Chain A
Amino acid sequence: MTQQTPLHATHVAAGARMVDFAGWDMPVNYGSQIEEHHAVRRDAGMFDVSHMLALDLEGADAKAFLRGLIANDVAKLVEPGKALYACMLNEQGGVIDDLIVYFLSDTAYRLVVNAGTADKDVAWMQQRLAATGAAATLGVRRDLAMIAVQGPNARAKTWAAIPGAEAASTALKVFQAATLGDIFIARTGYTGEDGFELTLPADKAAGTWAALTAAGVKPCGLGARDTLRLEAGMALYGNDMDETVSPLDAGLAWTVDFKDENRDFVGKAALVANGARQQALGLILEDKGILRSHQKVFTAQGEGETSSGSFSPTLEKSIALARLPLGVAAGDAVEVDIRGKRLKARVVKAPFVRNGKALV
């Protein structure tokens, strides 16, 4: 039995193609996935991301607990609403999940975790709370819905759709959030475009979705969300990293904070011992075809593997993220095995596209 978000009936009524995504019945596209992709790059589109889970961590030890739980350091969050992207690691340095943590106060943080990992994440955090004896509690917020509004016109259209939103969020910098009544407005996203992620009570989701539609925001499925994040060079949990992959090998070293020598966090010892053993880079296919995940890549320095691949609607070429041997550099010519044929590809530094512009 698949789970349904508070917007499920809205998607079905709109004729969306629904698929099972991590146990949730989700819209993969409404019409053309490529048109949905372009709407976000050029105007404004929205995604139901209510399958993701919000968690509220509260208590006197919340900050200390998080400093030991995740590889990025929440100590650098001092402004209320400020967000941080981080990986939660196991003792071997593998990624249990990637998440966003919002600083509300020294004793209150909100975390947003992936749908497919939500249950194991909560179990792991509860286990860590018990093991550390930290004075903090974890609130599981399945009562909330989440809508990501993304694109160059996303903020303006959100302001047109939601009374009071402009005053509440006009001053927000990127990766910062504010509260408007019971709506949490964050200037974050997973597309490489400007926009908001709105977290709101489940019973407000359908009305807000309708108001955003009326303001000219195009409903988009998870298919377009995937090609947008791939062009933006953003890692997808389960593809680009998992419990067997270190963030240092997955292009996520920038999310690991070693600055405070006195700070220990789960997985730190393994990261220090292993260092980076691979590197994450982008590929652009020069021959005809489509790159997908788990294709073998042949480089002058040895073999690597694609971790995500698809067609880039912006570049009109196939692109991929790949874990490649150390020593491979942007500009290198490599070959990718696609159904037994070796096709030519070029190594580039991700992102491929940001804020509507091709970067490669």
Chain B
Amino acid sequence: MNTPNDLRYTASHEWVRVEADGTLTIGITDHAQEALGDVVFLELPEAGRSVAKEEAIAVIESVKAASDIYAPVAGEILEANQAAIDAPESVNTDAYAAWLFKIKPANPADVEGLLDAAGYEATIG
């Protein structure tokens, strides 16, 4: 299983990278893309939208099924990844390169509540 140590995670299979400026870059984990299978459509949030922690804010559709993606923390959407929207299969190719959106957290300390790599791997057994 590919679970980089330098990222944080949620039990709902998002990965979170804390950037130098305190903003967060978010995608779905390698385990999640493997479970979903071929990704064919992404519906991502608009920049400027305020989101609550664990709010369903995006949809990822594989050939098999549609799944929600949740905000790991409260904050404001800064940007959605147009390149991923244009090439949804990039999520399968490299789930950690194909980020989905960036969030400015309302409270930077909220990141401390997220899982680390070992904690995430424990949730998926």
Q: Is the CB of B41 within 8 A of A289?
A: yes
| Cβ-neighbour of A34 out of B34, B35, B38 (below 8 A) | B38
Q: Is the CB of B63 within 8 A of A33?
A: yes
Q: Is the CB of A311 within 8 A of B40?
A: yes
Q: Which of B20-45 contact A (CB under 8 A)?
A: 34-35, 37-38, 40-41, 43
Q: How large is the interface on A (under 10, 10 to 19, 20 to 34, 35 or more residues)?
A: 10 to 19
Chain B residue numbers with a CB within 8 Å of A290 are 40-41, 61, 66
Q: Is the CB of A227 within 8 A of B37?
A: no
Chain A residue numbers with a CB within 8 Å of B37 are 17, 28-29, 32-33, 223
B64 within 8 A of A: yes
B83 within 8 A of A: no
Instruction: Report the minimal beta-carbon distance from A249 to chain B, rounded to whole angstroms.
Output: 26
Chain B residue numbers with a CB within 8 Å of A33 are 37-38, 63-64
B106 within 8 A of A: no
A292 within 8 A of B: yes
Chain B residue numbers with a CB within 8 Å of A318 are 41
B59 within 8 A of A: yes
Instruction: Report the minimal beta-carbon distance from B13 to chain A, rounded to whole angstroms.
Output: 16
| Cβ-neighbour of B63 out of A17, A34, A288, A289 (below 8 A) | A34
Instruction: Report the minimal beta-carbon distance from A223 to chain B, rounded to whole angstroms.
Output: 6
A76 within 8 A of B: no
**Contact mask for chain A residues 289-306; partner B; CB cutoff 8 A; 1 contact, 0 none:** 110100000000000000
A-B contacts, 29 of them at CB < 8 A, read A17-B35, A17-B37, A28-B37, A32-B37, A32-B38, A32-B92, A33-B38, A33-B63, A33-B64, A34-B63, A223-B37, A223-B64, A227-B63, A288-B41, A289-B41, A289-B43, A289-B61, A290-B40, A290-B61, A290-B66, A292-B66, A310-B63, A310-B64, A311-B40, A311-B41, A311-B61, A313-B63, A318-B41, A339-B59
Q: How far is the CA of A339 from the CA of B57 in the complex (A)?
A: 12
Q: How far is the CA of A25 from the CA of B67 in the complex (A)?
A: 22
Top 4 closest A-B pairs, CB basis?
A311-B40, A290-B61, A34-B38, A311-B63
A contacts with B: majority SS = mixed
- How many Cβ-Cβ contacts under 8 Å join chain A to chain B? 37
Q: How far is the CA of A350 from the CA of B97 in the complex (A)?
A: 39
Closest to A341 in B: B43
Chain B residue numbers with a CB within 8 Å of A311 are 40-41, 61, 63
Chain A residue numbers with a CB within 8 Å of B64 are 28, 33, 223, 310
Instruction: Report the minimal beta-carbon distance from A82 to chain B, rounded to whole angstroms.
Output: 35
Q: Which of A216-242 contact B (CB under 8 A)?
A: 223, 227
Chain A residue numbers with a CB within 8 Å of B66 are 290, 292
Chain A residue numbers with a CB within 8 Å of B41 are 288-290, 311, 318
Q: How far is the CA of A56 from the CA of B25 in the complex (A)?
A: 60
Determine which residue in B34, B37, B43 has the highest number of CB atoms from chain A within 10 A of its CB, and name it. B37
Q: How far is the CA of A8 from the CA of B114 in the complex (A)?
A: 38
Chain B residue numbers with a CB within 8 Å of A34 are 38, 63
Closest to B85 in A: A288
Q: How far is the CA of A311 from the CA of B59 in the complex (A)?
A: 15
**Contact mask for chain A residues 301-331; partner B; CB cutoff 8 A; 1 contact, 0 none:** 0000000001101000010000000000000
Instruction: Report the minimal beta-carbon distance from B59 to chain A, rounded to whole angstroms.
Output: 7
Q: Is the CB of B63 within 8 A of A223?
A: yes
Q: Which of A2-39 contact B (CB under 8 A)?
A: 17, 28-29, 32-34
Q: Which of B44-67 contact A (CB under 8 A)?
A: 59, 61, 63-64, 66
